[in-house]
């Protein structure tokens, strides 16, 4: 799910993402392992009009996998109601910790996907990263997509995320520990689902302006896609903060059965001497649109997160 940055926490709405999964072939990297201290899980992204999420798992031998969930802007249809989900399942950094590639993709979208179901998506993905000392990674990502009607070949819309500069951190086990010292700025980190976490703090540490993460959950429309959930304008009291909300979205099974998925979630966090930590929970109930009969449910359990 992507929640509009201008919507208050009391009326967040859900949309389904259009996905493009790609395997980018990197240029051959010099032999030898990555410099010590750079392997691990990084999470974060970019804070703009919307939150864009990026995660990166780096291996000691320089191989890595990455995932990005990005808001895109389309014309003449769809506006800013879609997101792009991009995966690099196996690529390799150079000896200095860098990678850059551009690749093309073509995808036939499942009929049940709202707004773009049954359409053909074609485009290009540019992704770059530099893994730096000190648990920091930076890069650039851009996705350009054209949606067409496969039956007629007619072009329906063009979408572009724009060039998004992103940063991700490897927060470490001490993030959020110790005496509370919330500070203004952007914090980046990861969850126990190996997903990214991103938070913007303002008012001298007294307000979490936005805090969000991508979440994996087993309800039908979420299978294979990470949903992004964002809390807005949450007050910090005595170094702690929390938010709850609910939303619903429609989904159509391949056999034509229409269902409504209703979700509720809870975010909790505390600041430490350096960084923050907390937990997240989401529960979903699936009902037939025609009768209201419950036909399924899903739950994340309690998912921990850390940032700095």
We report the CATH number of the domain holding residue 58 as 2.40.160
Q: Count other Cβ atoms within 10 Å, centred on residue 50.
A: 23
CB 127 within 8 A of CB 88: yes
Tokens 């919307």 appear where?
50
Same structural domain for residues 21 and 163? yes
Same structural domain for residues 189 and 297? yes
Q: Is residue 2 part of a domain?
A: no
Q: Is residue 3 part of a domain?
A: no
Global confidence as pTM: 0.86
Same structural domain for residues 158 and 191? no
- Tell me the two tokens of residue 277: 């930590």
Same structural domain for residues 149 and 19? yes
Mention every residue, 6+ apart, whose C-beta is less than 8 A from residue 54.
43, 44, 45, 46, 66, 67, 68, 139, 141, 166, 168, 196
For residue 85, give its domain range.
13-25+33-169
pLDDT value at residue 53: 98
Same structural domain for residues 198 and 162? no
Q: Is residue 179 part of a domain?
A: no
Same structural domain for residues 18 and 121? yes
Same structural domain for residues 17 and 84? yes
Which backbone phi and psi does 211 adopt, to 5 degrees?
-140, 130
CB < 8 Å & 24+ apart, contacts of 279-285: 279/303, 279/304, 279/305, 280/191, 280/213, 280/215, 280/229, 280/304, 280/305, 282/215, 282/217, 282/229, 284/217, 284/219, 284/222, 285/261
Last residue of a domain, one of 116, 135, 169: 169
Into how many domains does the chain fold? 2
- Three-state secondary-structure class, residue 137: strand
Q: Is residue 176 part of a domain?
A: no
Same structural domain for residues 223 and 284? yes
Flag residues of the chain having pLDDT under 50. Answer: 1-31
């Amino acid at each position: 799910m992507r929640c509009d940055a201008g919507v208050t926490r009391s009326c967040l709405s859900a949309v389904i993402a259009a996905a493009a999964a790609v395997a980018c072939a990197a240029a051959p990297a010099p032999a030898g392992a990555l410099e010590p201290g750079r392997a691990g899980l990084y999470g974060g992204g970019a804070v703009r009009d919307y939150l864009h999420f990026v995660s990166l798992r780096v291996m000691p031998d320089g191989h890595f996998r990455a995932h990005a969930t990005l808001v895109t802007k389309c014309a003449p249809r769809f506006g800013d109601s879609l997101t792009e989900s991009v995966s690099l399942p196996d690529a390799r950094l150079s000896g200095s910790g860098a990678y850059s590639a551009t690749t093309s993709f073509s995808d036939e979208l499942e009929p049940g996907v709202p707004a773009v179901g049954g359409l053909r998506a074609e485009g290009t993905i540019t992704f770059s990263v530099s893994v730096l000392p000190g648990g920091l990674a930076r890069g650039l990502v851009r996705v350009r997509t054209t949606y067409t009607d496969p039956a007629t070949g007619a072009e329906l819309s063009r979408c572009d995320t724009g060039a998004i500069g992103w940063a991700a951190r490897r927060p470490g086990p001490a993030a959020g520990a110790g005496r509370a010292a919330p500070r203004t700025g952007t914090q980046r980190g990861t969850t126990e689902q190996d997903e990214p976490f991103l938070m913007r703090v303002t008012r001298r540490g007294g307000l979490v302006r936005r805090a969000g993460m991508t979440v994996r959950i087993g309800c039908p429309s979420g299978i294979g896609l990470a949903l992004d959930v964002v809390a807005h304008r949450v007050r910090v009291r005595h170094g702690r903060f929390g938010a709850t909300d609910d939303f619903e979205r429609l989904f159509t099974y391949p056999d034509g059965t229409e269902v409504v998925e209703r979700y509720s979630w809870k975010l909790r966090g505390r600041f430490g001497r350096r960084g923050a930590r907390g937990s997240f929970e989401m529960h979903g109930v699936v009902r037939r649109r025609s009768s209201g009969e419950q036909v399924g449910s899903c739950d994340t359990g309690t998912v921990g997160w850390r940032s700095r």
